[in-house]
Structure 1
Amino acid sequence: MKKKYTVRPTKMQSLPGFIVGIVFVLLGIFAVIPSSGAFGIIWTLVAGLITVFNGINVFSEDGIPMGTVITEETEQKPEDNTRERLEKLEALYRDGLITKIEYEQKRREILNEL
């Protein structure tokens, strides 16, 4: 079975990006565009996009996901699970937490499930 998770930055991660984005937009408008022309426009647009992205993540509940992670759950093999269950049962018996009769009964139940 596959599970899908979306990865979003936290508000505290996005806040510095938002502030720096505003600084770069202002820098672009007042310094880069007047001195560099077309490059300044591109600079300011990119800074604006970064500011908007981080602003949405700071001021909204959901935010914009940065990516998606898909995980695949692997099921344990029945014999591995059986071995673990038998080892736990034996430990309970060794520690004196269950009687010999309870141990044998539960052991038979586990082995009958195979």
Structure 2
Amino acid sequence: MRSLTSVRPTISAGHKTIIAALGSDGTPLAVGHYHPAHGTTEIGGIGALPTARRRGLAAAVTTALVNHARDHGVNTIFLAYAEDVVARIYARLGFRPADSTLLIANQPARS
């Protein structure tokens, strides 16, 4: 797991946006990120602590990431998933299945 210090330069350079839902004590309960490139991005790393699940926090983080990306010039947003239950959550947020996935190449290494 990376510390905030190690990813701060990537965030500051605009290569990564991280959004988290925090508990009243500042503990991250749910988190996600995206990496914009030429108006396209994949939202990833969406997750919630086991004790914070089933409260809509991961969905709220995903929605906040979509809104932030759109507000910052991203036109195409996609997500990848490994489990059908995750696909159903994304479908409730307005995402729909695609026949193919875009892989962004020739981008600077980012963490």
Which TM-score applies when normalising by structure 2? 0.24
Which one has the largest radius of gyration? 1
Higher relative CO (Cα under 8 Å, sequence separation at least 6) belongs to 1
**TM-score when scaled to structure 1?**
0.23
